[in-house]
Structure 1
């Protein structure tokens, strides 16, 4: 039986999902299965996936659900998963040729370590060039949160989790909303577990115009409950005063972003939510100013 599930949530990506499929067919190690949860696509995704299944090059499991959001699709994938390892690869992205092999080679180092939730490796535009910085030197393990905050890593990663741990950390679901940031789960896992760091590019990607990454501000406005749940969790998890002050400032920026005084009033940190207002406003207006400058070609970023 396979040890690794490569999970792909998809929605109307029939025009590009073949790139992901072909990268999986090129893997030097075929010891994996591809689990696809289709979030109610209305294009020809189902026909395309069926054609892949008929080619019989790799093992594929396909499940279609009512359109509910990527986080609900992720929950479904985790609950369906029967392998020891689980990694999410979006339908518009793909893996380096040796990605599965490197994951399997690393697995024995973490399999029986109860303090490790999985593996972190790098994303890149190609197999040599990481998006952002490399992994911190001489550091073999870190929580996801500390990688960014303590070791000042800047960039994107691929996260390979122990499935048994992911099953304990499903995404919250809010009625009427279709998005919850992945950081909600990652921050929860960071409170108890470290990850094994691998300084290699395993995940290749580019950000499309119809993806979440390029439309995140509008996504937050359409899904305020999930967004504010994430920001509230950041405040609650912060231990030091400086970190809590920063988290409350981002919470205030979030309130401004979704245009809600309700959430501001609901914040329990009475003193902090007053002294954090200036920083919160700055956090809120900074991307607006940047966007305006780029729009009118006054500056390049």
Structure 2
């Protein structure tokens, strides 16, 4: 048994009835040399009682922290700041890991060269260990930033991200008063500007994927957390270096203004000419989900796609 280098971080809020599935997957790991750090974001159910039961069973090393409700991104900041290991990975309370996930992370990390621009590991999420949510990793690519993985290599789907803790401490989530959501991409985009990740073409994280429910809920989440949402879209404009990516980022920003029904953020953006020439694409980006929803309703979407 080697030194514990890994913290599995779980933010949770009122998940006392389902977190046992995540717990069981951690207890059943082929390598249990890790710390399970749980940050309870102000649960009002029996989560604390359930976790205390887990701790008493003494099957794995558990650290439990309870704080005032502030949102997953605030819980993530707490977890990063309290983490005492080299590596940090987030596993949500309603998801779980494949039984060899911890060992796969250790094995991959041992082979990663110790260079400053490598920030961690990217593996796959799936609905089973044989079926990823989206595509498999691009062929013949061992290292990539998270941004390039999607933008350059056209990967689609969800990933498990294992980061060096000291790098995450440099990129804590921004916190906006009165808001409880900031997309994880805010942090990952910034890390991508300076760091690459080791790619693992294997499913290590298992979860359910309900696309329609996520899309529907996410729209309301954005409207309830306008500052965080527009901060993310503005950051995408600021980090865009090529004309094509800048054009895309501005049009997505304008579409975001339409989604949250805010003329304030549109006026706040200074890029006058780009705001004009990107308007047609912005309207399409805004309209496309509504059009897709309508086509699905009348059973026309699959026919048109084919």
Which runs of structure 2 are paired with 1:43-58 in the superposition (5 Å)? 43-58=45-60
Question: Bigger CA drift: 7-16 or 165-174?
Answer: 7-16
Cα displacement string for residues 194-238 of structure 1 (whole angstroms, at most 9, x for unaligned residues): 0000111100011469x8665111000000000000000000111
Tell me the number of residue pairs that the alignment of Structure 1 and Structure 2 aligns.
301
Secondary structure in structure 2 of the residue aligned to 1:137:
coil
Residue 12 to residue 296, structure 1, CA distance change in 2 (3 Å)? farther
Residue 96 to residue 250, structure 1, CA distance change in 2 (3 Å)? same
Structure 2: which 5+ residue stretches go unaligned? none
Does residue 68 (structure 1) correspond to residue 62 (structure 2)? The answer is no
**What residue in structure 2 maps to residue 200 of structure 1?**
202
Q: Distance in 2 between matches of 1:176 and 1:68?
A: 9
Q: Distance in 2 between matches of 1:207 and 1:13?
A: 18
Q: Distance in 2 between matches of 1:8 and 1:295?
A: 36
Which runs of structure 2 are paired with 1:248-259 in the superposition (5 Å)? 248-259=250-261
**What residue in structure 1 maps to residue 164 of structure 2?**
162
Residue 296 to residue 38, structure 1, CA distance change in 2 (3 Å)? farther
Measure how far apart 1:110 and its partner are.
2.9
Q: Distance in 1 between matches of 2:113 and 2:181?
A: 31
Measure how far apart 1:111 and its partner are.
5.9
Which runs of structure 2 are paired with 1:1-301 in the superposition (5 Å)? 1-110=3-112, 112-207=114-209, 215-295=217-297, 297-299=299-301
Cα displacement string for residues 105-132 of structure 1 (whole angstroms, at most 9, x for unaligned residues): 1112336221100000011111111111
Q: Is the 8 A contact 1:207 1:213 kept in 2?
A: no
Q: Distance in 2 between matches of 1:68 and 1:81?
A: 19
If the length of structure 1 is used for normalisation, what is the TM-score?
Answer: 0.96
Structure 1: which 5+ residue stretches go unaligned? none
Secondary structure in structure 2 of the residue aligned to 1:181:
coil
Secondary structure in structure 2 of the residue aligned to 1:125:
strand
Residue 213 to residue 38, structure 1, CA distance change in 2 (3 Å)? farther
Secondary structure in structure 2 of the residue aligned to 1:146:
helix
CA RMSD of aligned residues (A): 1.7
Q: Distance in 2 between matches of 1:213 and 1:79?
A: 31
Measure how far apart 1:43 and its partner are.
1.0
Q: Distance in 1 between matches of 2:154 and 2:60?
A: 38
Cα displacement string for residues 76-106 of structure 1 (whole angstroms, at most 9, x for unaligned residues): 0000000000000001100000000011111
If the length of structure 2 is used for normalisation, what is the TM-score?
Answer: 0.95
